[in-house]
Amino acid sequence: MDVPYGQSSISFKNVPLLKATASRLCGPLFDWIETWEMLSRIKYLGTMLFLHNFKKAVQCLWTVLRAIRSFLSFLNLPLAGPFMEFLDFLFPVWNMFSEAIESFFSVICIGIGFIISLVGDLLEVVLMPICFIGLVLRNITTSVLYPMFLILWKILCAPIRLVLALASLLAYVCGFIYDVVGNIWLSLSGIIQLASTSEATVSSANEVSMWRTLWNDLFSQIFRALRSILPGFVAFFTACNRHRL
């Protein structure tokens, strides 16, 4: 059934109004449908353009191939015989040339291998004595010279260590004797001062007992000093015996 022109124009004029009404009623769903429809149309249009251009390209390629085939068929008729004769002549020459190149490269490879082996043998002959001499020198150094040097070093260092030990021990003994003598001198000076004061203050009746007490104090100080000196001498002689051993 045909629609009159006036009614169709009125219906097409109402399309934007209908779209606006549907967009207000459906919201995002209508927008998504419009976007999907637009993308579908673009894809369809791209596919049609591709197929149309591809058809033209295939037709052009087929035309070019037919032209090349016609040209080759035209040239094949007069040139087939000479071309086959040229190929018959070229193949033996190519085979001979390839065999000559192969032989040449094989000779070069053999020569290079021989030169490399000769150089390796010469290096081995030249370097073997040097390596042997170096190995012998290293063995002599590690097994003979190093122990001898170590023994000589210990022999040279032993007197120095002994002298240093004796010097330290002698310094210790001298310091100890100096301290003991100082203590004895202080004791004797105290005793002398005590005796001089006692002579002026104490009576003659107590003089004998006083001198006996002083004598006993003097002997006790001397024995204490000797008792403190003896361990120093014992340590000195023990150190001397240890260093001598």
Phi, psi of 14 (to 5 degrees): -85, -5
In this prediction, residue 198 has a pLDDT band, given cuts at 50, 70 and 90, of low
Residue at 138 is within a domain: no
1 secondary structure, DSSP code = -
Domain residue limits at 41: 17-74
The structure tokens 């260092």 sit at 157
Rounded CA-CA distance 4/186 in Å is: 153
Give me the pLDDT at residue 163, please: 84
Q: What's the domain count of the chain?
A: 1
E runs forming strands in 32-186 = none
Give me the pLDDT at residue 8, please: 44
**Number of Cβ atoms within 10 Å of the Cβ of 240:** 14
Q: Which residue did the predictor score with more confidence, 53 or 207? A: 53
Residue at 43 is within a domain: yes
Q: Which residues does 239 contact at the CB level (< 8 Å), separation at least 6?
A: 165, 166, 169
- For residue range 27-85, list pLDDT tens digits in order: 666 677 777 778 877 888 888 888 888 888 888 888 888 888 777 665 665 666 666 67
Rounded CA-CA distance 61/44 in Å is: 26
In this prediction, residue 3 has a pLDDT band, given cuts at 50, 70 and 90, of very low
Residue at 84 is within a domain: no
Give me the pLDDT at residue 28, please: 66
Rounded CA-CA distance 195/189 in Å is: 10
- Give the Cα-Cα-Cα angle 142, 146, 149 (nearest 5 degrees): 170
pTM of the model: 0.30
Element housing 72 (H / E): helix 28-140
Least confident of 30-44, 54-68, 149-163, 202-216: 202-216
Residue at 179 is within a domain: no
Q: Give the mean pLDDT of the chain.
A: 74
Element housing 164 (H / E): helix 146-201
Residues 181/224, Cβ–Cβ less than 8 Å:
no
Rounded CA-CA distance 84/91 in Å is: 11
Residue at 29 is within a domain: yes
